[in-house]
Amino acid sequence: MLEISYIRENKEHVIERLAHRGFDGREVIEKIATADENRRKVQTTLDRNLAEANQMARKIGELFKSGQKDEANALRAQTGELKESNRQLESEMHAYEQELKELLYHVPNLPHQLVPTGKTAEENELLKGGGEMPQLGQDALPHWELAQKYQLIDFELGVKISGAGFPVYTGQGARLQRALINFFLDQARDAGYREIQPPLVINEASGYGTGQLPDKEGQMYHLERDDLYLIPTAEVPITNLFRDERLSHKEFPVKLTGYTPCFRREAGSYGRDVRGLNRLHQFDKVEIVQVAHPDASYGILDEMVEYVKSLLDQLELPYRVARLCSGDLGFTAALTYDMEVFSAAQQKWLEVSSISNFETFQANRLKLRFKDEHGKSKLAHTLNGSALALPRIVAALLENNQTEQGIRIPKALVPYTGFEWIN
Cα 292 from Cα 397, distance rounded (Å): 34
Residue 115 in any domain: the answer is no
Residue 46 clears pLDDT 50, i.e. is over it: yes
Do 370 and 239 lie in a common domain?
yes
Do 137 and 99 lie in a common domain?
no
Contact (Cβ atoms closer than 8 angstroms) between residue 108 and residue 21: yes
Taking Cα atoms as reference points, which of 342, 301, 346 lies closest to residue 133?
342
Taking Cα atoms as reference points, which of 320, 317, 291, 322 lies closest to residue 390?
317
Give pLDDT tens digits for 353-391: 999 999 999 999 999 999 999 999 999 999 999 999 999
pTM: 0.92
Residue 112 in any domain: the answer is no
Cα 332 from Cα 21, distance rounded (Å): 12
Taking Cα atoms as reference points, which of 209, 242, 233 lies closest to residue 354?
233
CATH of the domain at 76: 1.10.287.40
Residue 392 clears pLDDT 80, i.e. is over it: yes
Between CA 245 and CA 255, with CA 249 as vertex, the angle to 5 degrees is: 70
DSSP sequence for 54-104: HHHHHHHHHHHHTT-HHHHHHHHHHHHHHHHHHHHHHHHHHHHHHHHHHHH
Do 161 and 89 lie in a common domain?
no
Cα 361 from Cα 242, distance rounded (Å): 14
Residue 411 in any domain: the answer is yes
Do 54 and 129 lie in a common domain?
no
Do 336 and 418 lie in a common domain?
yes
Taking Cα atoms as reference points, which of 362, 383, 380 lies closest to residue 372?
380
Cα 361 from Cα 359, distance rounded (Å): 6
Average pLDDT over residues 266-276: 64
Under the banding of pLDDT at 50, 70 and 90, the label for residue 133 is very high
Residue 245 clears pLDDT 50, i.e. is over it: yes
Do 207 and 66 lie in a common domain?
no
Do 81 and 185 lie in a common domain?
no
Q: 190 vs 52, which has greater pLDDT?
A: 190
Between CA 21 and CA 260, with CA 112 as vertex, the angle to 5 degrees is: 90
- Structural domain ending residue among the three candidates 79, 105, 131: 105
- For the chain, the average pLDDT equals 94
- Structural domain ending residue among the three candidates 72, 105, 138: 105
The confidence score (pLDDT) of residue 272 equals 54
The confidence score (pLDDT) of residue 137 equals 86
Give pLDDT tens digits for 290-329: 999 999 999 999 999 999 999 999 999 999 999 999 999 9
Residue 63 clears pLDDT 70, i.e. is over it: yes
Residue 116 in any domain: the answer is no
Give pLDDT tens digits for 219-240: 999 999 999 999 999 999 999 9
Under the banding of pLDDT at 50, 70 and 90, the label for residue 134 is very high
Cα→Cα distances 182→39, 89, 137, 405, Å: 52, 57, 32, 26
- Structural domain ending residue among the three candidates 78, 105, 132: 105
Do 125 and 269 lie in a common domain?
yes
The confidence score (pLDDT) of residue 239 equals 98
Judged by DSSP in three states, 286 sits in strand
| Least confident range of 17-21, 52-56, 193-197 | 52-56
Do 173 and 293 lie in a common domain?
yes
Taking Cα atoms as reference points, which of 384, 367, 360, 363 lies closest to residue 110?
360
Average pLDDT over residues 391-410: 97
Alpha helices in 119-272 (DSSP H): 143-149, 155-161, 171-190, 204-210, 235-239
Give pLDDT tens digits for 72-108: 777 777 777 788 888 899 999 999 999 999 999 999 9
Residue 166 clears pLDDT 90, i.e. is over it: yes
Do 244 and 342 lie in a common domain?
yes
Contact (Cβ atoms closer than 8 angstroms) between residue 221 and residue 230: yes
Under the banding of pLDDT at 50, 70 and 90, the label for residue 271 is low
Do 31 and 170 lie in a common domain?
no
Neighbours of 91 (CB within 10 A): 11
Q: Which residues contact 303 (CB under 8 A, 6 or more apart)?
A: none
Q: Which residues contact 81 (CB under 8 A, 6 or more apart)?
A: none
How many structural domains does the chain have? 2
Residue 123 clears pLDDT 60, i.e. is over it: yes
The confidence score (pLDDT) of residue 67 equals 80
Domain assignment of residue 269, given as a range: 121-422
Do 261 and 333 lie in a common domain?
yes
Query: At residue 301, what are phi and psi to the nearest 5 degrees?
Result: -60, -45
Evaluate the omega torsion of the peptide bond into residue 214 and state whether it is cis, within 30 degrees of 0.
yes
Residue 111 in any domain: the answer is no
How many CA atoms, within 13 angstroms, populate the side-chain half-sphere of residue 341? Answer: 31
By percentage, how much of the chain surpasses pLDDT 90? 86
Residue 325 in any domain: the answer is yes
Average pLDDT over residues 346-354: 96
Q: Which residues contact 26 (CB under 8 A, 6 or more apart)?
A: 15
CATH of the domain at 290: 3.30.930.10
Contact (Cβ atoms closer than 8 angstroms) between residue 367 and residue 269: no
Q: What are the DSSP E strand ranges found in 264-313?
A: 282-292
